[in-house]
A and B are shown apart, each in its own frame.
Chain A
Amino acid sequence: MELTSENANGAVIVKAVGRVDGANARDFHEGLESSIGADGKSMVLDFAGLSYISSAGLRVVLLVAKSLQQRNAKLAVCSLTESIREVFEISGFDKIVPVYANSSEAVSGLEI
């Protein structure tokens, strides 16, 4: 799993590439927390390159959403593959984290 982040209109876009499972969920969490930084910008998780995520990764997404909310910032996700979208829906995550088609729609949707 690789994470890269870039700034866009006051938000940070984090691209996750590869797999997030029970073996690397902690790295995923640490990587996302460090991308939040001290200024507490809102975050877009771009999953275009993510091929797999299990409940261990979903747990991290929820923790990051909670962490951002405490800083009055928001989390959005975008570019989910069909399989990952299904996992989000079964988990009810699509109801608590807004899902967008791509990162530019997500950034404008965050209304920063």
Chain B
Amino acid sequence: MSLALDSDPAELQRLADAIEEFAEREGWSPDLAFKINLVLEEMVMNVITHGNVDGLAEIQVKVTSSEDSVALQLVDNGVAFDPLTDAPEPEIAGSVQERHIGGLGIHLVRTMMDHISYERAEGRNLLTMTTKKA
């Protein structure tokens, strides 16, 4: 499945619809479809909110499903951002008062994916992630 998205939150519905259709075709569990949708949304939203200086960033999403794993690839022309090193570790402990807003998206992605690699080349961020199906 391949999809090109504008840097606009309104695109998330199109992303969700495409994943749902792909998940159905591939016979994914609802849990896997949820996880892939979440991981892609978090990374796409990250480009929209942080990587998008002039509102012109484009994000290309590619999803490949094999027998036992799913591979995700995101390419965007936004600001250089390596989620492995540039994102702070969120606090996931603390009371309602102590907890701060935000930082959770990348934490969810890091937890849900088995492998993440990042590369910056020719003015583009290239993010590759894989997760086992089970």
Binding site for B on A (CB under 8 A): 19, 21-23, 51-52, 54-56, 58-59, 62-63, 65-66, 69, 82-83, 86-87, 90-92, 95-97
Find out whether the CB atom of B96 lies under 8 angstroms from the CB atom of A96.
yes
Find out whether the CB atom of A54 lies under 8 angstroms from the CB atom of B10.
no
B48 interface residue (CB < 8 Å to A): yes
Binding site for A on B (CB under 8 A): 9-10, 12-13, 16, 30-31, 34-35, 37-38, 41-42, 45, 48, 92-97, 99, 101-102, 104-105, 107-108, 111-112
Contact of B34 among A52, A63, A91 (CB under 8 A): A52
Find out whether the CB atom of A22 lies under 8 angstroms from the CB atom of B104.
no
With both beta carbons as reference points, the residue of chain A lying nearest to B30 in the complex is identified as A83
Find out whether the CB atom of B97 lies under 8 angstroms from the CB atom of A63.
no
Find out whether the CB atom of A83 lies under 8 angstroms from the CB atom of B34.
yes
Q: How far is the CA of A65 from the CA of B98 in the complex (A)?
A: 12
Across the A-B interface, the 9 shortest Cβ-Cβ residue pairs: A92-B92, A55-B105, A83-B34, A55-B104, A23-B9, A22-B45, A23-B12, A65-B96, A22-B9
Add 5 more A-B contacts to A54-B42, A54-B108, A86-B31 (CB < 8 A): A22-B48, A23-B13, A54-B41, A59-B102, A62-B99
Can you list 16 contacts pairing A with B, beta carbon distance less than 8 Å? A19-B16, A21-B41, A22-B12, A22-B45, A52-B16, A54-B45, A58-B104, A59-B101, A62-B99, A63-B101, A66-B96, A87-B108, A90-B92, A90-B108, A90-B112, A91-B107
With both beta carbons as reference points, the residue of chain B lying nearest to A95 in the complex is identified as B93
Of B16, B30, B99, chain A has the most CB atoms within 10 Å of the CB of B99
Find out whether the CB atom of A69 lies under 8 angstroms from the CB atom of B12.
no
